[in-house]
Amino acid sequence: MKKHLIILFGLVALIAGSFSLSQAGSRYGSQPPAVLSPNLTSPWVLQLQGQPRARQAYVPRARRAYVPRARRSAVYSKPRYRVRRQAVRTQQRRVYRQSRRASLSQITRENRIRRAPVQLRKKPPAPKPRGKKINRELLPQVVAYSGGKKAGTLIVDTQARFLYLVMKNGSARRYGIGVGKPGFEWAGAHKISRKAEWPTWTPPKEMIAREAAKGHHIPDFMEGGPKNPLGARALYLGSTLYRIHGTNQPWTIGKAVSSGCIRMRNEDVMDLYERVRVGAQVIVS
């Protein structure tokens, strides 16, 4: 049975193949030959034959007529989106300025409220430093001298408030001094018994009692130093309690304020200390 079916299918396929071939032959067998245009074939034929190709004449292209663009109108209108954006920005600036003015006015108002009760007090003027200025006549200087005393002699003029150190060649070195206050003046001639740098001070009992009656307390003893009333140097006069010494109150030079001693500026007494020797004569008038 199977063999019969195979044979049957084979016959059917053979008949179908023969029919399709006959149809194909009838379709393509009667077609006309293809004909190409001589304009297309001539360049290729010339190229195959090796003949040069004829050049075609150059025909320039016709220029296009220039048509000017229409000019814009004198009044330019912005696009709508730009107009809208400009309006938004203007509104934003206006709001910002208003808020800034309001904030500044608020700050100013608050500052006025805060500062209203405050009253600035003027600082009192600073006290003028004492002893900064001194009369130029009281500063050391060399002057003429014709008193007849030998060089190295010290002459104290309590009335003029000057101390003279006699020098050679008719000259003397003059210093400004402070002298004893009324009731403590004295005069006489003595010799320098000793010299001391930054001397100690032991005030006499009479001075301690006298100052205590005024309400001032004076120590029984004071070491040498800048706060010591005897200053930087001291020249002791014989066996008396009087001295030529410096002071920690330079503004008193030229005045009668001491208890009988001759006081000088520290700078001046240091200079005098180096110029005189122990045993030099001192004349107080």
Q: Say if CB 179 and CB 185 are below 8 A apart.
A: yes
Residue 261 annotated among the catalytic residues of the structure: yes
- Residue 134 and residue 267: Cα distance in Å, rounded? 13
Shortest CA distance to 167 belongs to which of 148, 146, 152, 154? 152
N- to C-terminal Cα distance for the chain?
182
Q: What would the DSSP string read from start to end of 72-112?
A: PPSS----HHHHHHHHHHHHHHHHHHHHHHHHHHHHHHHHH
Residue 4 annotated among the catalytic residues of the structure: no
- Residue 190 and residue 205: Cα distance in Å, rounded? 24
Which of 4, 190, 217, 245 is the catalytic position? 245
Which of 4, 216, 217, 261 is the catalytic position? 261
User: How far is residue 72 from each of residues 76, 83, 236, measured CA to CA in Å?
Assistant: 8, 19, 115
3-state SS class at 22: helix
Give the residue numbers marked as catalytic.
245, 261
